[in-house]
Structure 1
């Protein structure tokens, strides 16, 4: 009696070619009459993790979940084999992939991180947040350089630690690592809300992987340096004159950034104050948007009178930088051009004054906060003025005290005679 050999199915780790993140692909192996064929299943593991998966005494949740997924692949293959009367590989492939292609495709697409990034990037661009979208583009480019066809299931604390190590070996800074991983964290949070991944799969946080913060570089001037800029003699109407005026306006108006200056409308201006919502936050935290109110001093009012346009209506722009009806892309281009203009000519002002710092528009904002801190203003007031939602963000803005101030405070340690 002729006995036909039965095809068998198994999940194996294909160790022939290691990936850049030290993982190997898992494959479905079908064996029939000593012939073996391998099929990708879209899961990659390191060799140590694979050994733990095979060791049934290891019962961590992560390992149990992997075993369940692998068991499902193998069970489907075995059921397909049973349904083929005269087995051959062509029949197996036609049946196996016909029955499960749509389901597998849908799951694979939902598990794929790149489409998740693409959807969110498109949303940001439609909202006019092109610069923020650019950060997400750079993030996924970096991650895909480390590992192609990245899936949510690939991103574990161990994976993130290896990515961090790889980034450092490639000469990147800790700050860059944080910059590219924060968007990934956002994508994970969206995926959890959409039910694509579970909270247990979330790789960030305490006892998991914590994104490095990097060292914040302080960008504040001393009050003496600000005074030099304030009294800088520039030819009226010159490029230096205009750049200096807008830098001072930012410094005096709560460190308002150039985009928000460009977007100011006459309806935002009261007699001695300006009220606005930061463009950076108006599309986030929508339930908790707090307007920023800055007092208009005589010098800041002078900038408005000197460089402001005609008050045609409450909705007309204060400064003739933007115009109604611009596309988000064109608005961004004009804001970037104006910011570069201020930075370029402010550096010439700084050089002329002997200020050995890159006095950009960021310095106006940080100097506003730091000068207030050194004057004794409560951090709560500074935080509210900057429009921050938490004190930690404000603290990152603040530079330390000047040396003279430190000396004065230190004297109090020996101030025994009151």
Structure 2
């Protein structure tokens, strides 16, 4: 509209404690000026970098963002006949706000995870949030706004993590948590897709380079035939073998296993990891009840074998999510402690853990000629969806023939 002008300015009237000044949208009409804070503050040097002819890196990102804000204001003004500050403010403030605090959103998400019983995931997000808080403190900032999360900011965070001795694996885990919060921000209208900083030609989350080792059948035979020296060592070894034979089931899934999940021929369960994250088409894991599995249940299973009883009594029905998390972690720690001793005794050149059982399950079957699709289904992965839909599911006798390869030492 003629007579209305806009500009993005740095308000130098009030200096913040960190040496920055607020960035605002200025609207002028009939010689009256009004200022609308963008909840972004910059030092005079950063503001100058933003306004040079060819800004670079974060300055360029800021320039693009400010231009979009001003363009949106201009489009609103064009729609108003007649123009008034009141009508402009109503429309302008309806728009989404990238200045909202990311860490506050993370805190809300963490509370929801805890409420849903996903204590382990909640802990992971807490670690990520703490890491981001430490990083922004190095920049003399107290809040992390959605507007701050640019490809350059993410690169700087990755560099800071590496420089402070953190692994790329941890960096990737934390940034995937941040990506989830950004996706929530898009769904709730906090930011638009055009400001999304992840993806090709933007920022790609680093993948950890941990070398994953699997055991050979010869190594597994040594573990199976090993004579434990104590009852706790035998129980740990047997639970490790149970995991290996049961599709590499993790300890939480083994702890949650109840007798109602077992019939005369198979064990059927839903992975805890996917139970709450998969909204539909929840596909249970099916394990053929091999004699060796049955023997472990007979040796260590709770008596009497009532349908609602936890098979290995690692948990109680009254346990809270936090107690379940603590007990699963302790059980994993105990198994890993004894398996490390067994590995040393057998002179196995590998860090023998519960995860090794899962990785070895998949690798041994692959080496035995099992299709990747079968292994993917057995592990409970959602990969190879097209192939899985085409094949539907493997017949029980096919599953049994492949699983028998797990102890084929010949």
| TM bucket normalised to smaller | 0.7 to 0.9
Matched, 1:364 2:357: yes
Query: In the aligned structure 1, how far is the partner of 2:292 from the partner of 2:354?
Result: 18
TM-superposed deviation, 1:172: 2.3
Partner of 1:43: 40
Structure 2 unpaired stretches of 5+:
1-6, 27-35, 74-88, 386-410
Residue among 87, 90, 114 paired with 1:125: 114
Residue among 155, 163, 176 paired with 1:182: 176
Alignment of 1:318-329 (within 5 A): 318-329=311-322
Partner of 2:299: 306
Matched, 1:137 2:126: yes
Partner of 2:157: 163
Between stretches 368-377 and 160-169, larger displacement belongs to 160-169
Query: In the aligned structure 2, how far is the partner of 1:339 from the partner of 1:205?
Result: 35
TM-superposed deviation, 1:52: 4.5
Partner of 2:105: 116
TM-superposed deviation, 1:300: 0.8
Query: In the aligned structure 2, how far is the partner of 1:158 from the partner of 1:278?
Result: 37
Matched, 1:331 2:324: yes
Paired residues of 2:98 and 2:146 also in contact (CA < 8 A): no
Partner of 1:35: none
Paired residues of 1:13 and 1:50 also in contact (CA < 8 A): no
Paired residues of 1:347 and 1:360 also in contact (CA < 8 A): yes
Query: In the aligned structure 1, how far is the partner of 2:55 from the partner of 2:180?
Result: 35
Paired residues of 2:10 and 2:47 also in contact (CA < 8 A): no
Deviations 1:308-341 (A, max 9, x none): 0124532221122212122111111111111111
Q: Secondary structure at 1:11's aligned position in 2?
A: strand
Structure 1 unpaired stretches of 5+:
1-8, 31-38, 74-99, 393-418
Partner of 1:403: none
Matched, 1:11 2:9: yes
Paired residues of 1:114 and 1:150 also in contact (CA < 8 A): yes
Deviations 1:185-207 (A, max 9, x none): 00011111111111111110111
Q: Secondary structure at 2:268's aligned position in 1?
A: strand
Q: Secondary structure at 1:111's aligned position in 2?
A: coil
TM-superposed deviation, 1:26: 4.3
Paired residues of 1:157 and 1:203 also in contact (CA < 8 A): yes
Between stretches 39-48 and 192-201, larger displacement belongs to 39-48
- Paired residue total: 346
Cα 1:49–1:374 shift into 2, 3 Å: farther
Cα 1:129–1:29 shift into 2, 3 Å: closer
Query: In the aligned structure 2, how far is the partner of 1:188 from the partner of 1:10?
Result: 26
Query: In the aligned structure 1, how far is the partner of 2:267 from the partner of 2:204?
Result: 39
Paired residues of 1:25 and 1:42 also in contact (CA < 8 A): no
Paired residues of 1:156 and 1:203 also in contact (CA < 8 A): yes
Paired residues of 1:53 and 1:66 also in contact (CA < 8 A): no
Between stretches 379-388 and 64-73, larger displacement belongs to 64-73
TM-superposed deviation, 1:161: 1.6
Residue among 335, 341, 352 paired with 1:348: 341
Matched, 1:386 2:379: yes
TM-superposed deviation, 1:55: 4.6
Residue among 286, 291, 296 paired with 1:293: 286
Between stretches 270-279 and 168-177, larger displacement belongs to 168-177
TM-superposed deviation, 1:110: 6.7
Cα 1:356–1:68 shift into 2, 3 Å: closer
Paired residues of 1:343 and 1:359 also in contact (CA < 8 A): yes
Q: Secondary structure at 1:144's aligned position in 2?
A: helix
Query: In the aligned structure 2, how far is the partner of 1:180 from the partner of 1:29?
Result: 34
Paired residues of 1:309 and 1:320 also in contact (CA < 8 A): yes
Cα 1:145–1:301 shift into 2, 3 Å: same
Query: In the aligned structure 2, how far is the partner of 1:253 from the partner of 1:265?
Result: 14
TM-superposed deviation, 1:281: 0.7
Query: In the aligned structure 1, how far is the partner of 2:55 from the partner of 2:293?
Result: 71
Query: In the aligned structure 1, how far is the partner of 2:262 from the partner of 2:296?
Result: 13
Residue among 216, 221, 225 paired with 1:222: 216
Matched, 1:203 2:197: yes
TM-score scaled by structure 1? 0.73
Query: In the aligned structure 1, how far is the partner of 2:317 from the partner of 2:375?
Result: 33
